């Protein structure tokens, strides 16, 4: 069914339910269109990550609406993937109820940079000062992130620095968790330690493979040290999302490197342990073109989006 027909049908159904039942039903006459515009002249393809079903923009809208938290597994700096994620977030903001406060969480911001974010969102400092105080650059604040950040600001939402400070993550590798446990309460608020030191087994295996096959179980070549750092990132970012959910923010989205969330990655694992019963949706970018869900991508995310290789123009 064409997208516009499905939108009209959904609006009519919503209106009938409201009139007939008198109950509160989520209602917003503004329908999502940013993603549709982004994909209108594009080779991007979208699939259900479990079944391989071809999805359209209305399917994305429905699934994000039905989720408590959306985890965007990005390809850092990708010229097509980032604008696609930004468009989905723009659509999520456009249909929210006006009394809801959206929360955007970003991996590239560390918790001790939250003050600079709050001061900028609150109009206390100008953008130039914010960029300086938060240590932003083209690499850690690309155009797609900026678009999402500013859209959240315009919507009256909150932007949350999701990650642990890099200097503490480094200590997890060089000194171990006991050193971090001994830190002051103020320091401890900026990071979360995983309860399971080696993390989920499948995630650990993928990490070992990515590190060149180091033997984690026997501590080969420092693999366990690097894994400790990785898991501090995962546990902290999962905790940041959980806090946004506890605060009642809606919608909630985390933009994070896809490794952390694909194939039931550790960030998602820790979030679902922290917030059991939460409806978590992962939308994962893949850097090639495909007309069907490839076998190697089954289970990579709840939704898999093929955005082509990174070495392309945004409109190619």
DSSP assignment of 60-90 equals: HHHHHHT-SEEEEEE-TT-TTHHHHHHHHHH
> Residue 216 above 70 pLDDT?
no
- Domain containing residue 252: CATH number: 3.40.50.11550
Higher-confidence residue of 20 and 147: namely 147
Counting residues of the chain whose pLDDT is more than 90, the rounded percentage is: 77
Looking at the domain assignment, is residue 188 inside a domain?
Answer: yes
Q: What is the DSSP letter of 249?
A: -
Looking at the domain assignment, is residue 63 inside a domain?
Answer: yes
> Residue 78 above 60 pLDDT?
yes
Between the CA of residue 286 and those of 102, 156, 257, 260, 267, what are the distances in Å?
Answer: 26, 31, 11, 14, 18
How many separate domains does the chain show?
2
Contact 244, 275 (CB under 8 A): no
The C-alpha atoms of residue 304 and residue 262 are separated, in whole angstroms, by 10
Looking at the domain assignment, is residue 129 inside a domain?
Answer: yes
The residue range of the domain holding 24 is 1-31
Per-chain mean pLDDT for the chain = 88
213 pLDDT tier (thresholds 50, 70, 90)? low
Q: Are residues 117 and 16 located together in one domain of the fold? A: no
Looking at the domain assignment, is residue 22 inside a domain?
Answer: yes
Q: Are residues 63 and 182 located together in one domain of the fold? A: yes
Q: Are residues 199 and 92 located together in one domain of the fold? A: yes
Q: Are residues 24 and 147 located together in one domain of the fold? A: no
Mean pLDDT, residues 75-103 taken together: 94
Higher-confidence residue of 45 and 8: namely 45
- Buried/exposed 9-24: b ≥16 CB within 10 Å, e otherwise: eeeeeeeeeeeeeeee
pTM (predicted TM-score): 0.87
Higher-confidence residue of 3 and 210: namely 210
Looking at the domain assignment, is residue 313 inside a domain?
Answer: no
What's the token pair of residue 50? 């479990």
* pLDDT digit string, tens, across residues 172-204: 999 999 999 999 999 999 999 998 888 999 999
Q: Are residues 96 and 25 located together in one domain of the fold? A: no
Q: Are residues 259 and 272 located together in one domain of the fold? A: yes
* pLDDT digit string, tens, across residues 293-304: 999 999 999 999
Q: Are residues 129 and 261 located together in one domain of the fold? A: yes
CA atoms within 13 A on the CB side of 206: 17
Q: Are residues 57 and 22 located together in one domain of the fold? A: no
Residues belonging to the chain: 316
Q: Are residues 153 and 265 located together in one domain of the fold? A: yes
* pLDDT digit string, tens, across residues 270-311: 999 999 999 999 999 999 999 999 999 999 999 999 999 998
Q: Are residues 183 and 44 located together in one domain of the fold? A: yes
> Residue 152 above 90 pLDDT?
yes
């Amino acid at each position: 069914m064409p997208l516009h027909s499905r939108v009209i049908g959904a609006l009519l159904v919503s209106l009938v339910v409201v009139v007939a039942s008198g109950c509160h039903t989520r209602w917003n006459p503004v329908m999502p269109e940013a993603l549709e515009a982004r994909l209108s002249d594009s080779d991007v393809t979208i699939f259900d990550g479990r079944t391989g079903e071809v999805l359209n923009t209305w399917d994305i809208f429905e699934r994000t609406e039905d989720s408590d938290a959306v985890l965007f597994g990005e390809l850092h700096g990708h010229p097509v993937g980032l604008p696609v994620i930004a468009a989905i977030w723009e659509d999520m903001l456009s249909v929210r109820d006006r009394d809801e406060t959206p929360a955007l969480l970003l991996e590239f911001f560390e918790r001790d940079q939250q003050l600079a974010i709050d001061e900028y969102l609150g109009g206390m400092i100008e953008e130039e000062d914010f960029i300086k105080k938060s240590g932003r650059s083209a690499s850690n604040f690309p155009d797609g992130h900026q678009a999402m950040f500013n859209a959240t600001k315009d919507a009256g939402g909150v932007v949350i620095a999701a990650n642990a400070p890099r200097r503490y993550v480094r200590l997890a590798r060089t000194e171990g968790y006991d050193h971090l446990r001994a830190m002051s309460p103020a320091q401890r608020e900026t990071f979360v330690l995983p309860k399971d030191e080696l993390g989920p087994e499948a995630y650990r295996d993928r990490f070992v493979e990515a590190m060149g096959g180091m033997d984690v179980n026997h501590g080969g070549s420092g693999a366990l040290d690097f894994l400790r750092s990785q898991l501090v990132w995962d546990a902290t970012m999962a905790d940041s999302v959980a806090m946004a959910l506890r605060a009642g923010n809606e919608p909630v989205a985390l933009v994070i490197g896809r490794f952390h969330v694909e194939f039931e990655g550790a960030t998602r694992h820790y979030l679902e342990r922290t917030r059991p019963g939460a409806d978590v949706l992962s939308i994962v970018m893949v850097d090639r073109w495909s007309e069907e869900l490839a076998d190697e991508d089954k289970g990579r995310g709840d939704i898999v989006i093929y955005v082509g290789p990174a070495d392309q123009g945004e409109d190619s």
